[in-house]
Structure 1
Amino acid sequence: MSRSTPSETADRQNHDSLEGLLERIRKTDGDGRQVTVREILDAAGTRSFGPVAVLAGLVVLAPLVGDLPGVPTLMGMLVILTVGQRLFRRNYIWLPGWLSQRQVPRDKLHKGLALLRKPARFLDRFTAPRLTWLMTGGGNLLLALACLVVALALPLMEFVPFSANGGGLALMTFGLAMIARDGVVAVLALVFSGGTLGFIGWQLASNF
Structure 2
Amino acid sequence: MNRRGTRTPVTSLRTLMRSLILNTEGQDVSFEELMHAVGRRAHGPVLLLIGFISISPIAAIPGATIVFATLTLIFALQVVAGLPHPWLPRRILDFRFRRDILVRGAVVAERYAHMLDALVKPRLTFLTEAPFIQLVALLCVMAALITYPLSFVPLAPFLPGLTILLFGLALTARDGVVLLLAMAAFTGGLLVVIRILPRLAALWPF
**Same fold, TM exceeding 0.5?**
yes
Deviation at 1:29, TM superposition (A): 3.4
2:22 is equivalent to residue 27 of structure 1 = yes
Q: Which amino acid aligns with 1:29?
A: T
Q: Name the SS of the counterpart of 1:65 in structure 2.
A: helix
Judged with a 3 Å threshold, the aligned counterparts in structure 2 of structure 1 residues 114 and 30 are, in CA distance, closer, same or farther, namely closer
In structure 2, which of residues 156, 162, 186 is the aligned counterpart of residue 163 of structure 1? 156
Q: Name the SS of the counterpart of 2:69 in structure 1.
A: helix
2:168 is equivalent to residue 186 of structure 1 = no
Superposed structure 1 runs of 4+ greater than 4 Å apart:
none
Q: Which amino acid aligns with 2:64?
A: V
In structure 1, which of residues 39, 50, 53 is the aligned counterpart of residue 44 of structure 2? 50
Say if 2:38 and 2:46, in contact at 8 Å, map to a contact too. Answer: yes
* Range moving further from structure 2, 150-159 or 125-134: 150-159
Unaligned runs of 5+ in 1: 1-10
Identity %: 30
Q: How does 1:172-183 map to 2 (within 5 A)?
A: 172-183=165-176
2:83 is equivalent to residue 90 of structure 1 = yes
Q: Which amino acid aligns with 1:87?
A: V
Residue number in structure 2 paired with 1:108: 101
Residue number in structure 2 paired with 1:38: 32
Separation (CA, whole Å) in 1 of partners of 2:60 and 2:131: 35
Residue number in structure 2 paired with 1:126: 119
2:69 is equivalent to residue 61 of structure 1 = no
* Range moving further from structure 2, 81-90 or 126-135: 81-90
Judged with a 3 Å threshold, the aligned counterparts in structure 2 of structure 1 residues 137 and 92 are, in CA distance, closer, same or farther, namely closer
Deviations 1:62-83 (A, max 9, x none): 1x31112211111112212221
Unaligned runs of 5+ in 2: 1-6
Separation (CA, whole Å) in 2 of partners of 1:169 and 1:103: 22
Deviation at 1:52, TM superposition (A): 1.4
Say if 1:25 and 1:44, in contact at 8 Å, map to a contact too. Answer: yes
Separation (CA, whole Å) in 2 of partners of 1:92 and 1:23: 24
Q: Name the SS of the counterpart of 1:35 in structure 2.
A: strand
Say if 1:35 and 1:104, in contact at 8 Å, map to a contact too. Answer: yes
Deviation at 1:34, TM superposition (A): 0.9
Separation (CA, whole Å) in 2 of partners of 1:72 and 1:49: 20
Residue number in structure 2 paired with 1:75: 68
Deviation at 1:206, TM superposition (A): 4.7
Residue number in structure 2 paired with 1:16: 11
Q: Which amino acid aligns with 1:51?
A: P
Q: Which amino acid aligns with 2:95?
A: R
Separation (CA, whole Å) in 2 of partners of 1:80 and 1:205: 24
* TM-score normalised by L of structure 1: 0.86
Say if 1:29 and 1:39, in contact at 8 Å, map to a contact too. Answer: yes
Q: Name the SS of the counterpart of 2:119 in structure 1.
A: coil
Deviations 1:22-75 (A, max 9, x none): 1111123354x210010011112112111111111111211x311122111111
* Range moving further from structure 2, 33-42 or 83-92: 83-92
Q: Which amino acid aligns with 1:76?
A: A
